[in-house]
Amino acid sequence: MILGKNVRLRAPERADIPRWVEWLNDPEVIADLDIYYPLGLEDENAWFDAMLKRPMEEHPLAIEVKGPKGWQLAGNISFHQVDWRNASAEVGIFIGNRELWNKGIGTEAMRLLVKHGFETMNLHRIWLRVHASNERAIRCYEKAGFIKEGTQRDGAFIRGKYLGVVFMSILRTEWKLDMAHEV
């Protein structure tokens, strides 16, 4: 378990699947995700089984938030495309519980995983892709120390139109200099 002030990251459980299916079928939640087809429980169960066969460092982590009634599932976060030769990995996150949006949960979760990536996994570079129209996510990533590298013009086709895709990254040296990463 990776612990922060108000957020913890834990291994996913099969019991999380019904909530994830609910969230990943919510048009507001997936508006800026690359999900374009309805998901069912069987789809998510198949994804879960396949995920367990991937390397441990590419397993998603459930994001939970400390609340008055204990820990509450909020979404998930994970590394993808871990490249050990170049000490680099892509990160992805989603907060599915809309009641928890705009409360700093994504920023804290991202800071926790970035810290884990640099301090535990010995990564040098962590990067991500985000739709240029997703200003809320871009602000979250900037608060976590990510820097915009560039935009892939018309890099994604979402809801009938092409959108730019912004590439952002953080290097271990930048992270060490930025005291905002403390969680």
User: Residue 48 is part of a domain; what is its CATH number?
Assistant: 3.40.630.30
Write down the pLDDT at residue 114.
Answer: 97
Q: How confident is the model at residue 64 (pLDDT cuts 50, 70, 90)?
A: very high
* Model confidence pTM above 0.85: yes
Looking at the structure of the chain, the number of domains it has is 1
CA–CA separation, 103 and 41 (whole Å): 29
Q: What is the per-residue pLDDT across 140-176, written as a single tens digit (0 to 9) for each? A: 999 999 999 999 999 999 888 999 999 999 999 999 8
pLDDT at 180 over 50: no
Domain that holds residue 117: 2-181
pLDDT at 177 over 80: no
Write down the pLDDT at residue 22.
Answer: 95
Side-chain-side CA neighbours of 81 within 13 Å: the count stands at: 11
